[in-house]
């Protein structure tokens, strides 16, 4: 009775509802996008009324917000932080830089497409996206969590070899020494 | 056998009550904080959703056996202090008044002073194992702050013990019912010292030096996610409720029914919360110096008042 398919589905639905209404955000302020987080959280737009809240450490966080360009150096830290987070976990790419490099598309030390290194659930377009766009993107994330489609963490584990290969290409020395998924 | 079963049921009812009230207070505090910031704030039941989400995390990293003890000690502390503190005043007329008395005994106040420091000590062990430097700094700060506020707090309790020659919380409630005066009026200095100590005990600003959100990344709990954090969050809520009930029992005559209990504890809870919302954060040495200043002096006055009158 407890383990049949329908009971599991009901539990899953309730859990997904709770996950979508309690999202603790780890804002990884790598680029200029971090400046848009403050108005999103404070009195004008107040993301907390929708259940969003800042998380202090990766262990407590549900969503990693990559706000802007990622240099080769920061990718290492971002991957480490992502692997420290406890699943289910989600990644939101914020701004054009995470989609195609944005204004840094031909820079020698930034990556162009975040999805090659981490499984991104939602992209928010713009340079910079205004708080309205951020809230729209986050509510899109809520929607796919509720539908049960936000399975980035499983995708990362399934395609670990591919992701690790891409990471190793840009940071050859670091990844070789780092332990896999066991921080 | 039946007697024991009923006792167990009563204890469970107490715990459920404390959990629900404590978590609701947490949500209401977030709402009030939001309103003070001119925001809408989260709904009052946000803490329940957060707790359920944390509980349904599928992965939880641990750093060794001692790491579990942090969460376990916190849980033990909150549950034991809840069981020791009588929730409702004896002699009420409602059918549930005989529930919620649980384990209190004659020396419970002395036992409580000990058990209330037990959780932070367990947390210190657990945080030590995680190896996170923020955790160690948070623990050091937490124990320093505890040394600070324990002195006025114990002085206030000793003043009450000297005056009425008892260490039983039920006796204090009976004394207040018989004389008709709350102890906050009978020995006002003790009440003031205890309330000032309470500011540190609840760890809202300016005494949130342990968690220190942007400074220490939540301090001792920084390596705990998922179910660890759920345990800490729920035992924190239960402990908050237990401490508030203790204050109400000692200084405000206890409560005869659940509605009075909620009203009194909520009013008392608003003191550290509202003081905290509009305050910045102290540094550790400033906090300790603050507690060893006026609160300790008022505690001394309380003891003198108890000895002389």
User: Quick one: which of A79, A64, A60, A56 has its CA closest to A33?
Assistant: A64
Q: Which of chain A's residues have a Cβ under 8 Å away from the Cβ of B225?
A: 57-61, 85-86
**Range from A122-126, B155-159, B176-180, B235-239 carrying the lowest mean pLDDT:** B176-180
Residue A173 vs residue B158, higher pLDDT: B158
Q: Is A65 helix (H, G, I), strand (E, B) or coil?
A: strand
Give the model's pLDDT for residue A136: 93
Question: Using only C-alpha atoms, what is the Rg of chain B?
Answer: 19
Which two tokens mark B211?
A: 């968690």
pLDDT digits (tens, 9 = 90+) for A62-106: 999 988 888 888 888 888 888 888 888 999 998 888 888 888 889
Q: Is A130 exposed, middle or buried (CB count within 10 Å of its CB: 0-12, 13-18, 19+)?
A: middle
What is the rounded CA–CA span in Å between residue A166 and residue A157?
A: 14
- pTM, two decimals, is 0.89
Please give the tally of structural domains in chain A. 1
B225 inside 8 A of chain A by CB: yes
Q: What share of chain A is helix, strand, coil (3-state, %, to 5)?
A: 55, 15, 35
- Tell me if A179 is assigned to some domain: no
Q: How confident is the model at residue A176 (pLDDT cuts 50, 70, 90)?
A: low
- Tell me if A88 is assigned to some domain: yes
**ipTM of the predicted structure?**
0.88
Q: Which of chain A's residues have a Cβ under 8 Å away from the Cβ of B42?
A: 48-49, 51, 53
Q: How confident is the model at residue A5 (pLDDT cuts 50, 70, 90)?
A: confident
- Tell me if A114 is assigned to some domain: yes
- A contact set with B (CB within 8 A): 14-15, 18-19, 21-22, 24, 42-43, 46, 48-49, 51, 53-54, 56-62, 84-88, 183
Q: Which of chain B's residues have a Cβ under 8 Å away from the Cβ of A84?
A: 61
Expressed as residue numbers, the domain containing B176 is 2-308
Give the model's pLDDT for residue B206: 87
Give the model's pLDDT for residue B222: 85
pLDDT digits (tens, 9 = 90+) for B160-200: 999 888 888 888 888 888 888 888 888 899 999 999 999 98
DSSP for B242-281, please give it.
HHHHHHHHHHS---SSHHHHHHHHHHHHHHHHHHHHT--P
> Least CA distance to A182: which residue of chain B?
B61
Please say if the pLDDT value at position B96 is more than 60: no
Whether the upstream peptide bond of residue A82 has omega within 30° of 0, thus cis, is: no
Please say if the pLDDT value at position B93 is more than 70: no
- Tell me if A183 is assigned to some domain: no
DSSP for chain B, please give it.
-HHHHHHHHHHHHHHHHHHHHHHHHHHHHHHHHHHHTTS----TTHHHHHHHHHHT-S-----SHHHHHHHHHHHHHHHHHHHHS-SS-TT--STTTTTT-TT--TTHHHHHHHHTTHHHHHHHHHHHHH--HHHHHHHHHHHHHHHHHHHHHHHHHHHHHHHH----HHHHHHHHHHH---HHHHSHHHHHHHHHHHHHHTT-TTS-TTT-HHHHTTGGGTT--HHHHHHHHHHHHHHHHHHHHHHHHHHS---SSHHHHHHHHHHHHHHHHHHHHT--PPPHHHHHHHHTTHHHHHHHHHHHHHHH-
Q: What's A169's domain CATH number?
A: 3.40.50.12280
Surface of B (48-77) touching A: CB under 8 A: 49-50, 52-53, 56-61
Give the model's pLDDT for residue A183: 60
Q: Is A120 helix (H, G, I), strand (E, B) or coil?
A: coil
Expressed as residue numbers, the domain containing A146 is 5-174
> Once rounded to an integer, what is the mean pLDDT over residues A127-148?
91
Q: Which of chain B's residues have a Cβ under 8 Å away from the Cβ of A43?
A: 37-39
Please give the tally of structural domains in chain B. 1
Q: Do A59 and B224 touch (CB under 8 A)?
A: yes
> Once rounded to an integer, what is the mean pLDDT over residues A132-152?
90
Q: How confident is the model at residue B304 (pLDDT cuts 50, 70, 90)?
A: very high
């Amino acid at each position: 009775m407890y383990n049949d398919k329908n009971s599991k589905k009901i539990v899953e639905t309730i859990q997904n509802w709770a996950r979508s209404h309690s999202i603790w955000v780890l804002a990884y302020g790598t680029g200029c996008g971090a400046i848009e987080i403050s108005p999103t959280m404070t009195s004008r737009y107040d993301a907390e009324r929708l259940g969003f809240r800042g998380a202090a450490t990766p262990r407590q966080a549900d969503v990693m917000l990559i706000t802007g360009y990622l240099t080769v150096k920061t990718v290492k830290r971002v991957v480490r932080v992502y692997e420290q987070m406890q699943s289910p976990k989600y990644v939101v790419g914020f701004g054009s830089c995470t989609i195609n490099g944005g204004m840094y598309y031909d820079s020698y030390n930034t990556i162009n497409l975040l999805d090659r290194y981490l499984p991104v659930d939602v992209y928010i377009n713009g340079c910079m996206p205004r708080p309205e766009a951020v809230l729209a993107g986050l509510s899109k994330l809520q929607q796919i969590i509720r539908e049960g489609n936000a399975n980035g963490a499983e995708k990362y584990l399934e395609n670990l070899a591919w992701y690790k290969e891409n990471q190793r290409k840009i940071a050859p020395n670091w990844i070789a020494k780092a332990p896999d998924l066991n921080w | 056998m039946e007697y024991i079963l009923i006792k167990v049921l009563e204890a469970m009812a107490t715990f459920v009550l404390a959990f629900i009230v404590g978590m609701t207070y947490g949500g209401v505090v977030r709402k009030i904080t939001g309103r003070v910031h001119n925001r809408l704030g989260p709904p009052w039941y946000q803490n329940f959703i957060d707790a359920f989400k944390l509980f349904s995390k599928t992965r939880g990293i641990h750093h060794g056996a001692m790491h579990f003890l942090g969460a376990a000690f916190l849980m033990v502390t909150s549950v034991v202090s809840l069981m020791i503190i009588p929730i409702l005043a004896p002699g009420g007329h409602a059918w549930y008044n005989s529930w919620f008395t649980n384990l209190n005994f004659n020396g419970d106040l002395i036992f409580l002073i000990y058990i209330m420091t037990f959780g932070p000590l367990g947390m210190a062990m657990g945080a030590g194992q995680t190896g996170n430097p923020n955790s160690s700094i948070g623990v050091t700060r937490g124990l320093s702050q505890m040394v600070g506020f324990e002195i006025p707090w114990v002085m206030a309790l000793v003043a009450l013990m000297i005056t009425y020659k008892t260490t039983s919380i039920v006796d204090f409630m009976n004394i207040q019912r018989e004389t008709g005066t709350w102890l906050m009026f009978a020995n006002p200095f003790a009440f003031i010292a205890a309330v000032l100590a309470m500011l540190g005990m609840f760890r809202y600003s300016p005494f949130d030096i342990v968690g220190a959100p942007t400074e220490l990344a939540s301090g001792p709990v920084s390596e705990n996610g998922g179910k660890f954090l759920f345990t800490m969050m729920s035992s924190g809520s239960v402990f908050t409720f237990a401490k508030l009930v203790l204050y109400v029992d000692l200084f405000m005559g206890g409560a005869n029914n659940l509605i009075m209990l909620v009203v009194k504890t909520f009013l008392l809870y608003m003191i550290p919360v509202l003081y905290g919302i509009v305050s910045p954060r102290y540094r550790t040495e400033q906090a300790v110096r603050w507690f060893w200043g006026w609160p300790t002096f008022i505690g001394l006055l309380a003891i003198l008042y108890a000895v002389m009158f």
